[in-house]
Amino acid sequence: MKKGILPLIVGNWKMNPLSITIATSLAKNIKTAVGKIDDVDIVIAPPTVYIASVHAILKHSKTIALGVQTIHHEKLGAFTGEISIPMVHEFSVRYIILGHSERRALGEDDVTINEKLTATLKAGMTAILCIGEKKRDEGGLYLSGIEKQIRAGLVGVSRTKLSHVVIAYEPVWAIGSGMTPTAEDIHEMRLFIEKILSDMYERNYAQKVRVLYGGSVDEKNARELFVGGTVDGFLVGGASLHVKTFRDIIMSVRPTH
Ligand code: PGA
């Protein structure tokens, strides 16, 4: 954790839950469970079709912000099936997850991700850029893939915007698998990411970027991965759908823990 920056926990609901009734009660229960914590930044990112309803529940919350799981970079036009930044802005969405491996698997490439990221920052929102290797090789070749994802994702981003950039390191093999890297591996990756950012920008600007870990985070491994991994928080998938588990993960990163 860096000094002066609050830990960040993002709940990525993915394509869950099944109905708006369940989604609103989940949001209500999370809101009640976390109470008025002011030392962790918390974001929930429901499917976009639920944004209006979840916004109605969270709109007076100073504790939980809203995010979406992807976006289109254009404001409006002939883009069938897409949703734009101004459309979600109306619902106080402040965070946009970009380049998640499940979207990359559908064909989203680094250029598209960079367009979305640039548009997100231009709108004054925070971009959560997901990066991560599909598998690790003994020789460490996967590191050059990670570096490419970071550099390509941040093309054209000026250093003054970096406080609105979050990098989520999510090894694809750890997502939804119950497997995680060791805390030491995560720590090394954090240093590697910081080094790339420092090469791209001045070090004191590079340090404004929050680095999260994501992939099978739960209430049992959160504290160890947070402290040992020296990350600034987590991007949580499956566990963010369970109120108590999500709450416990949040509690495990509190500075007062
Ligand atoms: P998981 O997903 O926590 O279910 O592994 C993380 C993610 O994909 O963001």
- Annotated catalytic residues are 100, 170
Is residue 179 predicted with pLDDT exceeding 70?
yes
Is residue 80 predicted with pLDDT exceeding 90?
yes
Ligand 1 probe mutation, 15, 104, 236, most atoms within 8 A of CB? 236
Ligand 1 lined by 132 (C-beta under 6 Å)? no
- Residue 140 is predicted with a pLDDT of 84
Q: Average pLDDT over the chain, rounded to whole?
A: 96
Percent of the chain with pLDDT over 70: 98
Q: How many residues does the chain have?
A: 257
How far apart, in Å, are the Cα atoms of 213 and each of 98, 128, 183, 192?
15, 11, 10, 13
Spell out the domain ranges in the chain.
Answer: 8-252
Summarize pLDDT for 15-57 with one digit per residue, the tens: 999 999 999 999 999 999 999 899 999 999 999 999 999 999 9
- Residue 139 is predicted with a pLDDT of 84
CA 63, 97, 54: angle at the middle one, nearest 5? Answer: 45
Q: What is the CATH number of domain 8-252?
A: 3.20.20.70
pLDDT band at 3; cut points 50, 70, 90: low
69, 44 contact by CB (below 8 A) = no
Phi, then psi, of 76 in degrees rounded to 5: -165, 165
Ligand 1 lined by 97 (C-beta under 6 Å)? no
How far apart, in whole angstroms, are the C-alpha atoms of residue 67 and residue 254? 21
Between 36 and 13, residue with greater pLDDT: 13
Distance 25 CA to ligand 1 centre (A): 21
Is residue 255 predicted with pLDDT exceeding 90?
no
Is residue 212 predicted with pLDDT exceeding 80?
yes
Ligand 1 lined by 167 (C-beta under 6 Å)? no
Q: Facing residues of 98 across strands?
A: 129
- Residue 171 is predicted with a pLDDT of 97
Q: Atom of ligand 1 at shortest distance to CA of 130? A: 9
How far apart, in whole angstroms, are the C-alpha atoms of residue 59 and residue 57? 6
